[in-house]
Amino acid sequence: MIKPHGSDELNPLFVYDPAENEKLKREASELGNIVVSSATAANAVMMGGGYFNPLTGYMNKADALSVARDMHTTSGLFWPTPVLNLIDSAGAHHIREGDTIALRDPNMEDHPIMAVMDVEAIEEFSDAEMEEMTRHVYGTTDTEHPGVAEFNGQGKTALSGPVKVLDLSYFQHEFPDTFRTAVEIRNEITERGWKNVVAFQTRNPMHRAHEELCHMAMDRLGADGLVIHMLLGKLKPGDIPAPVRDSSIRKMVELYFPPNSVMISGYGFDMLYAGPREAVLHAVFRQNMGANHLIVGRDHAGVGDYYSDFGAQEIFDTIPDDALEIEIFKADHTAYSKKLDKVVMMREAPDHTKEDFVLLSGTRVREMLGNGEAPPPEFSRPEVAQILMDYYQGLDG
């Protein structure tokens, strides 16, 4: 199996020993504590699950700035986005360098302890430094961008240092059949006997074009397994909630993929909407979970019109050859061809005009579903469309 990023073995930061975990929770209840941001909590979940291997905790100011500027930490580790514990300066008044503190979950009732952290440094970013990081990572400083707004709304004080993760937030409870750590996915890949694995990232339901794209990638790469890996954390308003996505994807796989060819799983992270930089982050944690290939399509991890159609593919041409072992399957926009009576990548059908494809905007699809009207079967499998229609019509009820 492919090696994890940055180490020979995966080193998840979750404390798996039940007795040790319980002991640390008891001790943490007596420590100084903070309720962290949702982004900080998501970073803890990803470190706990091994997805952010080989990080051992939250980055300090120098590493965060270095990563933002050239995708390397000060020690030379390739990493595409800062992994920070940012708080408002007022929230740090009772914390001192050298303290061990408890990190409390902002997304669960009563804010249970999710990690303990050794605070090695407390550092303030200037407005100019925050703006620089934002520009490098998100490609814009526009506060209308949901990732930019979230990143800059946490505060400018960074607490850095190693963490021990004690709880994986609400993901295990709310998505017991779907949420998996990188450790668990590696183990299941081994159990299934897969040798060549493709990962597909999604924050949306999968329509016919996505389904066929996965088939294409598996066929062309000679893969024996596909991991459909859905984001389970916070999205922007209007995105379809995870349980609905999960149901629709499971129905599609049940009906349209061979047995033992697909693993449906999810991960506990908040969407950054950082386009190219987030695509590279996706590649890092897919390598950590054991995938050899990641499908990167048009406007991967994008939002609005902030990124070019294929910027998330082009960034991989700019990173060092030895930065990652995982390989990228570069996909074009896929759509159903009326001339060929099948889904194709549009670049592979040069004799087609726009009218030769079944193309529907996201707005039009949402309108149809909300009206109880199924999109054409060339666009969406009827069984999938029914689940989505039920959801949209429920919003109006």
Give the integer Cα–Cα distance in Å for 90 and 345.
52
> What whole-number distance in Å separates Cα of residue 157 and Cα of residue 143?
19
Report the chain's mean pLDDT, rounded to a whole number.
Answer: 94
Residue 328: band (very low, low, confident or very high) from pLDDT cuts 50, 70, 90 = very high
Distance in angstroms (rounded) separating the CA atoms of residues 182 and 263: 13
pLDDT of residue 340: 94
Report pLDDT digits (tens) over 251-297. 999 999 999 999 999 999 999 999 999 999 999 999 999 999 999 99
What's the average model confidence in pLDDT over 95-117? 96
- Predicted confidence at residue 394, as pLDDT, reads 80
What average pLDDT does this structure show over 199-227? 95
Q: What is the mean pLDDT of residues 1-12?
A: 97
Would you say residue 393 has pLDDT above 90?
A: no
Q: Which amino acid is at 63?
A: D
Q: What is the mean pLDDT of residues 152-156?
A: 96
Q: What percent of the chain is predicted at pLDDT more than 90?
A: 87
Estimate the crossing angle of helix 362-370 against helix 382-396, to 10 degrees: 70
Please report, for the chain, how many H helices and E strands are present, in that order: 13, 15
Which of 109-123, 214-228, 359-373, 376-390 has the least mean pLDDT? 359-373
Q: Is the pLDDT of residue 397 over 60?
A: no
- Identify the structural domains of the chain with CATH numbers, from first to last: 18-172 (3.10.400.10), 176-396 (3.40.50.620)
Strand ranges for 167-232 from DSSP E: 197-202, 225-231
Output the pTM of the full model: 0.94
- Which pair of tokens denotes residue 357? 């494809």
List of residues 6+ apart from 99 with CB closer than 8 A: 31, 32, 118, 119
Residue 302 pLDDT exceeds 70: yes
| Residue 254 pLDDT | 96
SS3 68: helix
Over range 40-57, report the average pLDDT: 98
Which residues are marked as active site? 203-204
Identity at 327, one-letter amino acid code: E
In the structure encoding, which two tokens stand for residue 35, read together? 């309720």
**pLDDT at position 238:** 74
Backbone phi, psi, residue 300, to 5°: -60, 130
Alpha helix locations (H) across the chain? 18-28, 38-48, 61-70, 127-138, 146-152, 171-174, 182-192, 208-221, 242-256, 276-288, 311-314, 362-370, 382-396
pLDDT tens for residues 341-362? 999 999 999 999 999 999 888 7
pLDDT value at position 211? 95
Q: Does the structure show a pLDDT above 80 at 250?
A: yes
